[in-house]
Structure 1
Amino acid sequence: MLSWFAVCCSGLLHINAAYKGPRWQFYLFKPLTIAILIVIALMGGQESSYTYWIVAGLAFSLVGDVFLMLPKDRFIPGLLSFLVAHILYSVAFWQQFDGPMIWWLPSLIGAASVLIFLLLLPNLGQLLIPVGLYIAVIAQMAWGAGEFWMAEHSQMAAYAFGGALLFMLSDTVLAFDRFKGPFRTSVLLIMSTYFSAQGLITASVLFAH
């Protein structure tokens, strides 16, 4: 319980520093939040391939966080780091799926992803292909988590699916903030959904069987 309290405090300190400073607090607590989640997963999860895939995804997320926080723009390395993280999460989720495919789910997620891409399209410029690929990868990650939940309806699967959906929401707000223009509450929305997403995905490890 104390470890989850530490996650909440660290995440809130990062969000507060994004608006009010100091800068050292901003740079420290974002990667620290993910680092604590890695420790939670390693200490509380079973020794299984699912745990290792999720921990690897958290590790690449931490790297992506560092790239995106650097004063000089490192958007592409950050994007690639999170792309790898979503692929690792996808492997973890799809490995758990064993059942008939629910085809309306990818149709719904795919339609939402295409709509987001079309809204961003006029502002993407040379990043059209990287952003399009990223959207496709995170969409299939959410699809994998959704199929897992539809097949099993376990607490583990529910946490995984909830985390995947929140990750899509966080990245969508981030994309609109970057390509359409920032707005005051964007950091709060992006980071609260991001930390919640990573927290739920980490929690799924604790219920792995």
Structure 2
Amino acid sequence: MWVWLAISFSALLHITAAYNGPKWQYYLFKPFTMVLLMVVAWQSGLDGFYHQAIFVGLILSVVGDILLMLPKDRFVQGLVSFLLAHIAYSLAFWSQFEGNIIWWLPALLFAGGIIVFLLFLPSLGSLILPVALYIAVIVQMAWAAGEFWLTVGSTASVLAFAGALVFMLSDTVLAMNRFRGPLTSATAVVMTSYYLAQALFVASLLA
């Protein structure tokens, strides 16, 4: 319980600093929140492939966080880091998949991904291919988590799928803020949903 309160408080310190400063608080607590989640994941044990892949995803996410918050824009590098994180998460979820693929789920998810891509397309410029690839990978990650949930139905699978959907929301708002114009509440929405998604992935290790 206490560690989750610490994680929530750390996330809150980062989000409030994004609006009101100071800068040191903003830079410190963004990765520190993820480090706390990594500690929880580590303490859950890293014996199985699922746990190991989730932990690798958390590490790659920290790298992406650092790249995206640097004063000089490292958007593409951050995108690559999070793309690799989503691949790690996907491998974790597919490793738990049992039974036959339920095809309506990817159809629904990829249709949503195409709509989001078309929404941002006029503003992407030279980033068309990287963004298209990123959308495809995160949708595939959500598909993997969804198949895990639909075929296994465990508490861990519910947490994993919920985390994947929240992650998609976070990235959609982030892209909207970058490509469709600044949103006043973007940082609060993006970071709250981002930390929630990562926390749900870690919670799936404990279920």
C-alpha deviation, 1:46, in angstroms: 5.3
- 1:96 alignment partner, SS class: coil
Q: Which moved more, 1:44-53 or 1:83-92?
A: 44-53
1:94-117 CA deviation, whole Å, 9 max, x = no partner?
A: 010011111100011011000000
1:108-167 CA deviation, whole Å, 9 max, x = no partner?
A: 101100000000000000000000000000000000000000011111000100000000
Q: Matches of 2:175 and 2:2 in 1, distance apart?
A: 33
C-alpha deviation, 1:19, in angstroms: 0.5
Q: Matches of 2:38 and 2:91 in 1, distance apart?
A: 18
Relative contact order, higher structure (CA 8 A, sep 6+): 1
Match of 1:24 in 2: 24
1:102 aligns with 2:102: yes
Structure 2 portions without partners, runs of 5+: none
Match of 1:68 in 2: 68
1:58 aligns with 2:58: yes
1:157-201 CA deviation, whole Å, 9 max, x = no partner?
A: 001000000000000000010011111111111001000000000
C-alpha deviation, 1:47, in angstroms: 1.8
Q: Scaled by the length of structure 2, what TM-score is found?
A: 0.99
Match of 2:8 in 1: 8
Determine if contact 2:44/2:206 at 8 Å carries over to the other structure.
yes
Structure 1 letter corresponding to 2:4: W
Q: Matches of 1:196 and 1:202 in 2, distance apart?
A: 10
Determine if contact 2:67/2:75 at 8 Å carries over to the other structure.
yes
Match of 1:82 in 2: 82
C-alpha deviation, 1:3, in angstroms: 1.0
Match of 2:163 in 1: 163
Q: Matches of 2:183 and 2:145 in 1, distance apart?
A: 31
Q: Matches of 2:129 and 2:93 in 1, distance apart?
A: 25
Match of 2:49 in 1: 49
Q: Which moved more, 1:15-24 or 1:45-54?
A: 45-54
Structure 1 portions without partners, runs of 5+: none
Count of residue pairs brought into register by the alignment: 207
Determine if contact 2:46/2:52 at 8 Å carries over to the other structure.
no
Q: Matches of 1:192 and 1:34 in 2, distance apart?
A: 12
Q: Scaled by the length of structure 1, what TM-score is found?
A: 0.98
Match of 1:199 in 2: 199
C-alpha deviation, 1:81, in angstroms: 0.3
Cα 1:191–1:66 change in 2 (3 A) is same
Match of 2:132 in 1: 132
